[in-house]
Structure 1
Amino acid sequence: MKTTTQSWPVLDYEKYNNTLATVHLWTQIVGKIRLSNSPWVNHSWHVTLYVSSRGLTTGSIPYSNGIFQLDLDFISHELIVSSSDGQREIILLYPRTVASFYKELLSKLELMGIEVAIYASPNEVDPAIPFMQDEIHKSYDAVQMNLLWMALVKIEKVFTRFRAGFTGKVSPVHFFWGAFDLAVTRFSGREAPIHQGGAPNMPDRVMQEAYSHEVSSCGFWPGSELSPSPAFYSYCYPTPEGFGKQSVQPAEAFYSEEMGEFFLTYDVVQRSGNPEELLMQFLVSTYKAAAITGNWDKELECNLRHFER
């Protein structure tokens, strides 16, 4: 892959951590609206958001009068609600509470004649403060949020190319608002043992359906207070014996016995001479670690160069 002319943005968790905590909850509200109005898709693929040319989007959501869409715009810093009947409402993004954001969004949807009913508390976070009551999270640094989104744009392009190198069942490149991570997942086609669940404020049955079949999954996560370093990850479920002992690239990648995953920090990729190539090395080599130790069918991989011009 050729290096893009525009460099990858520098990410500093200490500068965006409070903004991240607030926007994470905003995306949960937006994602839950998509969830409640969409038909169920296996592995909860109907709940995710997608990286767009201006931020994050739900894509089309069905409702009684057609379809509507919610777009978090991290250039103009607004949430745009648009519908197929020509209606359009805007909610400004600024340092405001989760409760304020939630109340205004529901008010705009009601004004547009769009009925929604969601479980109005966050998932996969602890404590889970109901959205209507959350006056704590109210930070928004427009510059830092724009940088984080720009990183997602760079990453999404590499993930999309990696996704194309697989002929078996593979997820979209999508953004999970539960953990606030961008991910893409490959499937072996075989059923997996029942998952134990265990995510905070998340029903075990949801996790069990998500991991009903063998997967090799990779993604990007912007960090947390306990691990304040944005990083790429790669894991498989179930985890075959010897997975963590496989040789992967680049040299800076490492395996966490505690987490059962391979990691590569964002800083290593961002500072390299060819971020796209370095990240692709990580994605391909960690998938091969899962495929080799898990005895995946080699025919599921395809040679993209045969189709390129």
Structure 2
Amino acid sequence: MGSAEVPGAGNGWPQLRVDDWIQTRDTVHMWTQIVGKIRMALTPMLNHWWHVTLYVTPRGLSTSKIPYGGGAFDIEFDFCDHQLHVRASDGTTRSVVLEPKSVAAFHAEVFETLARLGIQAPIRAVPNEVEPAIPFADDHQHASYDPRAIRTFWQQLLQADRVLNEFRSHFRGKASPVHLFWGSMDLAYARFSGRAAPTHPGGVPNCADWVMVEGYSHELSSCGFWPGVGEEGAFYAYTYPEPPGYAQYVSEADGVVYRQSDRLYLLPYENVRSAPDPDSKLLRFLHSTYEAAAETGRWDRAGLEVDRDGWRR
């Protein structure tokens, strides 16, 4: 499918209503959890769970390199040809077709494919951060795959990833990559103040509290794109811990809202997509919500931020 066939993609920011692909989204969400757990099982642990995430590629989503024995392999969702590729460093490759099939069938095919490559990856085969948490091998409920919708979603991720990486370049302190967390299926980026944070209370469905404690062990300002809210998904931003005044800092004039129930700012995706300059609109949201965290949280902005004009000179 060419980009001309994607609704609203004239400026590179395609339109995709959540209600039009929710069944495909929920199925692929479970598929990404299976693949992400394989990476988690075989990759050395990194702080804040950065070793478990997926990354946007020119064709879809990838685990990046996973060490195995004396070599390595990777797994990539190819949303152009609709294949899941497993590629090993010895030159062998196997693929699983991405098409309407149950989570149970996908789970079985992926592990059969790994076995043919001589790869063993024991995982806890139950999803996280969802309710109910149906074991992958028993999940015949989620079985949708709309190739057009999933390719459009990937193109949304391409745009979001590009702008988030531009935003990332303004910060010299400790910061995460731009990566997709498969627990909640959001593309995320976080900046850190350098100070330890109070213990996170946990409480996320089907996710041990100690997982959240590690993820939020240090003060952060986080942002990203989440396809699970609103008409077409939304960009979000929050800080942990949230200082007094943070929720009132950013103006709601641009369509930005602060959702008290989740303690985060939201900017609807459609507001960005339909803007005369989508990149600038999104960057204003990212910079302003970070400023809210840094100012109300008393971050060392002079020591953490990049002088971009100085670099240009």
1:268 to 271, 282, 299: 271
- TM-score, L = length of structure 1: 0.96
Give the distance between the partners of 1:88 and 1:307, measured in 2 at CA: 43
Q: Which secondary structure state, in structure 2, belongs to the residue aligned with residue 307 of structure 1?
A: helix
User: Deviation at 1:252?
Assistant: 1.2
Give the distance between the partners of 2:312 and 2:129, measured in 1 at CA: 40
Q: Which secondary structure state, in structure 1, belongs to the residue aligned with residue 132 of structure 2?
A: coil
Residue 254 of structure 2 corresponds to 251
Alignment of 1:1-309 (within 5 A): 6-224=11-229, 227=230, 229-248=232-251, 251-299=254-302, 300-308=304-312
Give the unaligned 5+ runs of structure 2. Answer: 1-8
| Paired residue type of 1:160 | N
| Paired residue type of 1:302 | V
| Paired residue type of 1:135 | H
Q: String of CA shifts for 1:97-119, please: whole Å, max 9, x gaps.
A: 00110001100101101111000
User: Deviation at 1:259?
Assistant: 1.5
Q: Which secondary structure state, in structure 2, belongs to the residue aligned with residue 126 of structure 1?
A: coil
Give the distance between the partners of 2:253 and 2:165, measured in 1 at CA: 20
Give the distance between the partners of 2:148 and 2:310, measured in 1 at CA: 41
Q: Is the CA contact (8 Å cut-off) linking 1:13 and 1:230 kept in structure 2?
A: yes
Q: Is the CA contact (8 Å cut-off) linking 2:165 and 2:178 kept in structure 1?
A: yes
User: Deviation at 1:11?
Assistant: 1.5
- TM-score, L = length of structure 2: 0.94
Q: Is the CA contact (8 Å cut-off) linking 2:15 and 2:232 kept in structure 1?
A: no
User: Deviation at 1:249?
Assistant: 7.1
Give the distance between the partners of 2:312 and 2:117, measured in 1 at CA: 45
Give the distance between the partners of 1:76 and 1:60, measured in 2 at CA: 21
Q: Is the CA contact (8 Å cut-off) linking 1:75 and 1:146 kept in structure 2?
A: yes
The alpha-carbon distance between structure 1 residues 153 and 308, as it changes in their structure 2 partners (threshold 3 A), is farther
Question: Percentage identity across aligned positions?
Answer: 47
Q: Is the CA contact (8 Å cut-off) linking 1:43 and 1:211 kept in structure 2?
A: yes
User: Deviation at 1:14?
Assistant: 1.1
Give aligned pairs, total. Answer: 304
Give the distance between the partners of 1:306 and 1:78, measured in 2 at CA: 45
User: Deviation at 1:250?
Assistant: 6.1
Q: Which secondary structure state, in structure 2, belongs to the residue aligned with residue 234 of structure 1?
A: strand
Q: Is the CA contact (8 Å cut-off) linking 2:12 and 2:159 kept in structure 1?
A: no
The root-mean-square deviation of aligned C-alpha atoms, in Å, is 1.4
User: Deviation at 1:266?
Assistant: 0.1
Give the distance between the partners of 2:266 and 2:176, measured in 1 at CA: 21
Give the distance between the partners of 2:44 and 2:250, measured in 1 at CA: 41
Q: String of CA shifts for 1:206-233, please: whole Å, max 9, x gaps.
A: 1001100000000110025xx5540000
Deviates more, 1:22-31 or 1:242-251: 242-251
Give the distance between the partners of 1:25 and 1:47, measured in 2 at CA: 15
Give the distance between the partners of 1:147 and 1:307, measured in 2 at CA: 36
User: Deviation at 1:302?
Assistant: 1.1
Q: Is the CA contact (8 Å cut-off) linking 1:248 and 1:289 kept in structure 2?
A: no
User: Deviation at 1:258?
Assistant: 1.7
Q: Is the CA contact (8 Å cut-off) linking 1:49 and 1:57 kept in structure 2?
A: yes
Q: Is the CA contact (8 Å cut-off) linking 1:98 and 1:138 kept in structure 2?
A: yes
Give the distance between the partners of 1:298 and 1:72, measured in 2 at CA: 38
Give the distance between the partners of 2:114 and 2:186, measured in 1 at CA: 26
Give the distance between the partners of 2:261 and 2:65, measured in 1 at CA: 39
